[in-house]
Copies of this chain bind each other. A is one copy, B any other.
């Protein structure tokens, strides 16, 4: 692991990792702005902007953008999340200059033609409709929304049909001018790349990216509670959330280990108890997402209406059990899973470019793999037990349900099951 970092005079940072045994590379731009950066009237604009970036620049039509990158067999992907937005190209190594050229073009010279905007808004409406039709997607949106109600961090990333239909060109340019700044972005590359070449390309192609400081964001407040969307479906989709830890928290790695012990793989407690012993679910898992100043520790499961009560009792029991005790063997196994997962991710240019970018945005520097592994290794049983108590008993749980869930246990009654024993 030898990440090279250069800060350009413009304020833009370039970080690369050479993987010289590969034939391909990934080059991408990560911008530290996402759905939670939106003002009240901007709900969904981060994602719409990510779409509109591909709809034509001062020098390339939408069709030409697509044709040029695909003519060399490359592909450009983009994704909007809560705290950042990324645009990256996967290419054969010789096509690095072309990909830098196209990425710079779409991020600094997009025209946002009103007709294109109208058509693309309609495309996003279809995307919103499809997400609403997919119960397993919807239940995660409802969880996030109920955990952080009436706050940018809680709103669905896609926006609503009303907000998306209302955006005009100036909304896009306003948002872009506020957030797509050299100080708030990082360009990373991994694969068969040469740092000096990437730096020279970025310096040249991204010269027009504006400088300045991005506005401060509101601080999120965990609220919690319950939401249920009754639908005539075969399965009840359930998500359960507790306030997690920020990604820079000293407890962040402990929270990841806790999620792995509880529901991170086939040997985890939820998989063994809820699926293997009780046969209640096909999907059951736990996860931890860190944000800037908060986090979400979640559980997802799905089961038929007849088994829903038993599932909710079982989930409550496993939470109580993990507050009570964690085995050394489980902790060791969770650490081994995190370690191997990290080492496997180092071998893919896309994963690597994305990891380095997130580290640069969070810490302002790349993290050594050794450094991450040491932090994971340092987590011990007492820390996990303290954290489990703090997470599961210290915040109001959030419960989101979709499907045949009219009779499902409410959030207060569920929380009561956890605290009765404490």
Give A residues with C-beta under 8 Å from B: 21-24, 54-55, 62-63, 65-67, 69-76, 90-92, 118-120, 122-130, 132-136, 233-235, 265-267, 271-272, 275-283, 302-304, 329, 332-333, 336-341, 343-344, 346-349, 403
B residues near A332, Cβ cutoff 8 Å: 71
**Copies of this protein in the complex:** 2
Check A130 against B276 for contact (C-beta < 8 Å): no
A307 vs B308: C-alpha distance when bound (angstroms):
38
Check B136 against A136 for contact (C-beta < 8 Å): no
Check A130 against B234 for contact (C-beta < 8 Å): yes
* Shortest Cβ gap from A239 to chain B (Å): 14
A336 vs B90: C-alpha distance when bound (angstroms):
13
Check B302 against A24 for contact (C-beta < 8 Å): no
B residues near A282, Cβ cutoff 8 Å: 123-124, 126-127, 130
The residue in A67, A133, A135, A234 that gathers the most chain B C-beta atoms within 10 A of its C-beta is A133
* Shortest Cβ gap from A115 to chain B (Å): 10
Knowing A265-B66, A344-B90, the reply to whether A134 touches B134 (Cβ < 8 A) is yes
Check B233 against A133 for contact (C-beta < 8 Å): yes
Knowing A130-B302, A336-B73, the reply to whether A123 touches B63 (Cβ < 8 A) is no
Check A235 against B130 for contact (C-beta < 8 Å): yes
B residues near A279, Cβ cutoff 8 Å: 118-120, 122-123
Check B70 against A337 for contact (C-beta < 8 Å): yes
Check B347 against A24 for contact (C-beta < 8 Å): yes
B residues near A119, Cβ cutoff 8 Å: 276-279
* Shortest Cβ gap from A328 to chain B (Å): 12
B residues near A130, Cβ cutoff 8 Å: 136, 234-235, 282-283, 302
Check B336 against A70 for contact (C-beta < 8 Å): yes
Report the 10 A-B pairs with minimum CB-CB distance, sorted nearest first: A73-B340, A129-B234, A119-B279, A66-B266, A73-B336, A66-B267, A127-B282, A21-B21, A126-B282, A122-B279
